[in-house]
Amino acid sequence: MIQACIFDMDGVLVSTEKYHFEAWQRLAATLGIHIDEEFNENLKGVSRAVCIDLILAHGGVHKTEEEKRELAAQKNAWFLESISHINPVDVFPGVREFLTQLQMHGYKIALGSASKNAPLLLEKLQIAQFFEAVIDGNSIEKAKPNPEVFLKGAEALGVAPKNCVVFEDAISGVQAARSAGMYCIGVGSPAILTQANFCIQGLHEMTLERLREL
Residues designated as active site: 8, 10
Long-range contacts of 14-22 (CB under 8 A, 24+ apart): 14/86, 14/90, 14/91, 14/92, 14/95, 14/121, 14/125, 15/90, 15/92, 16/79, 16/83, 16/86, 16/121, 17/44, 19/79, 19/82, 19/83, 20/79, 22/78, 22/82
Query: In a 3-state reduction of DSSP, which class is residue 1?
Result: coil
Is the distance from CB of 196 to CB of 168 less than 8 angstroms? yes
